[in-house]
Amino acid sequence: MDLKVLVISDGSAWMGALTQQLASEGVPATVISLSDSARPVITSSLLSGKLADGTPVARYQGVVLPDDAPAGLSAAELSALASYESAFSVRQVDGYEYPSASVGLSGPAYGGPLDGSTATITGAAKAAGFGYLRGSFRFEGTRGGATSYGYLARPLAATARTSFTPFLTEPLPG
């Protein structure tokens, strides 16, 4: 597996921030802009290849998308990404995702500033490769501020198409 990340960007502020953070952390990334008419088509051959002995090899250790189904990617491209991620156990990070059944969540029980609130790392997160994280952490700022914004939602029962495993939990404000 090549140790670089594939970033498929829609040009949004959050995708710019994620791309900038990868660069500042020294993480090699290939950025594909969805607004570029000459961009490559996302296919299995773009995502993976074979070594000289025929062993399959992943070209990216992670995929960053603007959301779970970005405008500008065809159904075939989304399918190629899903197959690649499954075949090579590659994680996908969505830059923004509104809580909905399409991603295995109920509608938001809360949406607003998270400043000063405390989130807790779950056992599932630790078991999924984040074992170095400890306990809980506090969001920057003071409660009621506007530094961190997010949605709090509950996972729905898993279906054949969707499931959601929380890596962070936080009590509803109030």
pLDDT per residue as tens digits for the range 92-138: 999 999 999 988 999 999 999 999 999 999 999 999 888 998 899 98
Residue 1 — very low, low, confident or very high, per pLDDT cuts 50/70/90? confident
Residue 46 clears pLDDT 80, i.e. is over it: yes
The answer to whether the CB of 105 falls within 8 A of the CB of 151 is no
The backbone torsions φ and ψ at residue 64, rounded to the nearest 5 degrees and listed phi first, read -115, 125
> d(Cα 32, Cα 39) in Å, to the nearest integer?
7
> d(Cα 47, Cα 65) in Å, to the nearest integer?
14
| Amino acid 48: pLDDT | 98
Residue 141 clears pLDDT 90, i.e. is over it: no
* Helix H or strand E segment including 88: helix 75-88
> Which listed CATH number (3.40.50, 1.10.1060, 2.30.30, 1.10.230) goes with 5-94?
3.40.50
The answer to whether the CB of 47 falls within 8 A of the CB of 83 is no
Residue 23 — very low, low, confident or very high, per pLDDT cuts 50/70/90? very high
List the chain domain ranges.
5-94, 101-169
Task: Look up residue 151 and give its two tokens.
Answer: 């949605």
